[in-house]
């Protein structure tokens, strides 16, 4: 990112870091569900290293490629996070920031805890996969994971409480400019915290620690569900009256990543309850029906959203065309999220119910569209990086929020 990024900036550039973190997680998912790990709830260094150094060169190449991708996108995630944090500290001193916190767009500050929660997730994966023996002391690390996610959740509460208190007491929420679903970024931030807390809840062997993480996960998840319902209703009310704001069109897909995180949270909390309190495995059919329902919602949301985005010409103008918007990075999360939940559905919903055999032709046939979505998402991210983040970017390429009341996904040139 160029120096002028710090002067002409808005918090939605955190989504560039978020997308890279999500892609790092997506490549870990291959290891999670394709590498056997009977003695641990997730694939660790002890499981992947023998395959990486084994005699089967094809398997070693695939495992190595997945690990290389994890490292690459993790580096991009933290590099962009550091740049955004630096830019945001300068941005808070600007007049644009003062305008931001008196408008609908104040909710875009939720991109910060959203991205930080992703950072904790990515750090956990990096430690498990790349640090030999770390899993042997994982029980001592779970409390720190809970503390980290709770701290991010408190930050999210701070940002959202300030925003909600202002619009409730002053009544200055602009419904006319709310013709998009960008407000749902608040829901996504809280569910990202919730899914993170659900991980130690499911993996720890301590019933007390599991119970604490479950309660905290449900707390932040409940906030997310409430906000999702409210923000979606308010957003569609304005959309159906004024039409969808073109600059904020990617928000039409915002439910997809939220649904993925809800689904994974459900899987983890169910596993935690059955393993730590009922001392048995969760019923596979329960996962099958739950994940099938959620992925069905994602498919219809993705299908309708794609038609809308094509009809308004968003891809032609903001991805392949001359217009530039920090909100374009919101296109990355839906692709990542669909891939990740799809892998959960294949493993938990189809393989564990014996509907599908691992590595059978039918397995790879169902996997193929998910891989296509993943690599298409990487292709789009590459275009956005080149357009918005390359060194050749000029000062005009980063626009100030021309009309700050248009919402959190409307920064364009």
- Tell me which fold the domain 3-406 belongs to: Glycosyltransferase (1.50.10)
The Cα–Cα gap between 229 and 231 comes to 6
Average pLDDT of the segment spanning 195-211: 97
**Where are the chain's structural domains?**
3-406
Q: What's the predicted TM-score (pTM) here?
A: 0.92
Question: What confidence tier does 7 reach under pLDDT thresholds 50, 70, 90?
Answer: very low
| Confidence (pLDDT) at 409 | 52
Residue 117 in this model has a pLDDT that exceeds 50? yes
| Residue 161 neighbours by CB under 8 Å, 6+ apart | none
CA 328 – CA 13 distance, rounded (Å) = 9
pLDDT interval class at 256 (50, 70, 90): very high
Percent of the chain with pLDDT over 90: 90
Mean pLDDT of 160-182: 96
* Whether residue 412 has pLDDT greater than 80: no
pLDDT, tens only, 32-79 = 999 999 999 999 999 999 999 999 999 999 999 999 999 999 999 999
CA angle 38, 23, 349 (to 5 degrees): 45
Residue 390's pLDDT band, with cuts at 50, 70 and 90, is: low
According to DSSP, the residues that pair with 161 across neighbouring strands are: none
List of long-range contacts for 317-324, beta carbons under 8 Å, 24+ apart: 317/246, 318/247, 318/412, 319/380, 319/383, 319/384, 320/383, 323/412, 323/413, 324/387, 324/388, 324/397, 324/398, 324/399, 324/412, 324/413
The pLDDT tens digits for 16-31 are: 999 999 999 999 999 9
Q: For 190-200, what is the mean pLDDT?
A: 98
**What is each CA distance from 187 to 130, 178, 246, 257, 335, in whole angstroms?**
32, 16, 22, 10, 18
> Could you tell me the pLDDT band of residue 257, with boundaries at 50, 70 and 90?
very high
| 263 to 188, 198, 257, 297: CA distances (angstroms) | 13, 11, 10, 11
In the chain, what is the greatest distance between 2 CA atoms, to the nearest angstrom?
67
273-299 pLDDT per residue, tens: 999 999 999 999 999 999 999 999 999
Length of the chain: 413
Q: Is it the case that residue 223 has pLDDT exceeding 50?
A: yes
94: burial class by Cβ within 10 Å (0-12, 13-18, 19+)? middle
389: confidence class by pLDDT, cuts 50, 70, 90: confident
Cβ-contact 410, 180 below 8 angstroms: yes
Average pLDDT of the chain to the nearest whole number: 92
Q: Please name which of 378, 341, 330 lies closest in space to residue 29, comparing C-alpha atoms.
A: 341
Place of tokens 């720190």: 144
Output the pLDDT for position 410.
Answer: 45
Which DSSP state fits 354? T
- pLDDT of 392 over the 60 cut: no
């Amino acid at each position: 990112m160029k120096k002028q990024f710090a002067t002409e900036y808005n918090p939605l550039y955190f989504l560039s870091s978020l997308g890279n973190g999500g892609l790092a997680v997506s490549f870990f998912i291959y290891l999670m569900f394709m590498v056997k790990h009977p003695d641990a709830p997730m694939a660790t260094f002890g499981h992947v290293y023998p395959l990486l150094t084994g005699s089967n060169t094809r398997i070693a190449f695939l495992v190595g490629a997945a690990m290389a991708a994890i490292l690459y996108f993790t580096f991009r995630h933290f590099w962009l996070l550091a740049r955004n944090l630096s830019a945001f500290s300068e941005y808070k001193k600007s007049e644009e920031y003062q305008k931001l916190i008196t408008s609908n767009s104040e909710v875009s500050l939720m991109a910060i805890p959203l991205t930080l929660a992703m950072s904790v997730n990515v750090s956990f994966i990096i430690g498990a996969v790349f640090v030999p023996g770390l899993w042997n002391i994982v029980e001592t690390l779970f409390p720190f994971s809970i503390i980290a996610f709770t701290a991010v959740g408190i930050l999210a509460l701070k940002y959202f409480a300030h925003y909600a208190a202002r619009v409730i007491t002053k009544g200055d929420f602009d419904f006319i400019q709310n013709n998009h679903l960008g407000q749902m970024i608040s829901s996504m931030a809280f569910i990202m915290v919730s899914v993170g807390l659900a991980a130690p809840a499911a993996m720890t062997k301590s019933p007390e620690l599991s119970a604490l993480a479950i309660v905290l996960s449900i707390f932040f998840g409940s906030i997310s569900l409430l906000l999702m319902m409210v923000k979606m209703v308010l957003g569609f009310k304005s959309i159906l009256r004024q039409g969808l704001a073109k600059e904020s069109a990617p928000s039409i897909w915002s439910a997809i990543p939220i649904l993925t995180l809800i689904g994974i949270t459900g899987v983890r909390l169910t596993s935690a309850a059955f393993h730590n309190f009922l001392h048995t495995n969760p019923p596979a059919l329960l996962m099958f029906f739950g994940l099938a329902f959620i992925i069905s919602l994602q498919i219809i949301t993705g299908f309708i959203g794609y038609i809308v985005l094509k009809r308004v010409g968003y891809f032609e103008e903001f991805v392949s065309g001359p217009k530039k918007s920090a909100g374009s990075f919101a296109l990355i999360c839906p692709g990542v999220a669909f891939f990740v939940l799809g892998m959960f559905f294949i493993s938990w919903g189809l393989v564990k119910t014996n509907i599908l055999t691992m590595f059978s032709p039918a397995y790879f046939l169902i996997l193929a569209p998910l891989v296509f979505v993943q690599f298409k998402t990487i292709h789009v991210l590459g275009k956005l990086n080149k357009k918005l983040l390359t060194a050749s970017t000029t000062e005009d390429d980063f626009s100030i929020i021309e009309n700050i009341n248009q919402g959190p996904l409307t920064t364009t040139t």
